Amino acid sequence: MLSFTEENYLKTIYHLSGEGQKAVLTTELAAGLNTRPATVTDMLKKLSAKDLIAYEKYYGVQLTKKGKAEALLIIRKHRLWETFLVEKLGFTWDEVHEVAEQLEHIQSPLLIEKLDAFLGHPKTDPHGHPIPDKTGKLPVMIQTPLAEVDVKGKATISAVRHASAVFLQYLSKIGVYIGATVQVAERNEFDRSVQIVIDGKKKAYLSREASENIMVEK
């Protein structure tokens, strides 16, 4: 069985590698886990011995099939719990991440299957992120950043790229939420900021950076 710490390493490697594509470097991992490179090296040896990662000294690390499956299970639990907190307990989308960081480590296959059923087998979490099914399969999502939507183009907000509390609180304040319809009214070609209309009513201005972190379906 994996320790709390080992699980966090696997999950972070998965995210930093772009869902398991490219290799992750020691320093990136140290930054992502808020720890020191020397500490990371220690743990990489341990995870490598357990066949959860392929580790090449000085050239970074990738998840093995086994490691990826573990990572996806933890992400499944994280996103199911976030969904529970919002849908059933009335948390706001900016309050759930920290609690889910703890709940994702609870060990009970029965619990997670019952929770999934209780929530009606959701496909996405409160941030629009896909929830892996029990075999680790991710629902396919066709999404583009709002930054790439043409002027006058309409789209539906389907996810946020980063789920930091300040960003989410800002989005709530200006009226952006998952499921909202947006139209790009105007794009400033100088700094790529946009003016949008939400649900055909509310107007809001977004910086290029904000619009790159909001994902839409057309």
- Residues interacting with DNA, by CB under 7 A? 3-6, 25-28, 34-46, 55, 57-60
Q: Residue 37 Cβ, how far from DNA at the closest point, in Å?
A: 4
For DNA, give the closer residue by CB, 2 or 174: 2
Q: Which does 125 bind (CB under 5 to 8 A by kind): DNA, Mn ion, a second copy, none?
A: Mn ion
For Mn ion, give the closer residue by CB, 77 or 129: 129
**Contact indicator for 60, 54 with CB cutoff of 8 Å:** no
Q: Which of 2, 5, 35, 95 binds a second copy (CB under 8 A)?
A: 95
Strands 53-56 and 154-160: what pairing?
unpaired
Read off the tokens for 111. 């619990």
Binding residues (CB under 5 A) for Mn ion: these are: 82, 97, 125, 127, 129
Site for a second copy contains 111 (CB under 8 A)? yes
**Alpha helices, DSSP H only, in the chain?**
4-16, 26-33, 37-49, 65-87, 96-103, 109-118, 165-174, 208-212
Q: Residue 40 Cβ, how far from DNA at the closest point, in Å?
A: 6
Site for a second copy contains 90 (CB under 8 A)? yes
Q: Which residues pair with 156 in a beta bridge?
A: 181, 217
Nearest of 178, 187, 190 to residue 206 by alpha carbon: 187
Phi first, then psi: what are they for 101, rounded to 5°?
Answer: -60, -30
Q: Residue 2 Cβ, how far from a second copy at the closest point, in Å?
A: 14
Phi first, then psi: what are they for 27, rounded to 5°?
Answer: -65, -40
**Contact indicator for 34, 102 with CB cutoff of 8 Å:** no
Site for a second copy contains 89 (CB under 8 A)? yes
Q: Which of 107, 164, 169, 172 binds a second copy (CB under 8 A)?
A: 107
Site for a second copy contains 109 (CB under 8 A)? no
DSSP state of 136: S
Read off the tokens for 141. 């999502």
Does an H or E element contain 215, and which?
strand 214-217
Q: Residue 74 Cβ, how far from a second copy at the closest point, in Å?
A: 15
Q: Residue 62 Cβ, how far from a second copy at the closest point, in Å?
A: 30
d(CA 34, CA 62): 19
Site for a second copy contains 103 (CB under 8 A)? yes
Task: By CB under 8 A, name the binding residues for a second copy.
Answer: 85, 88-91, 95, 98-99, 102-103, 106-108, 110-111, 114-115, 118
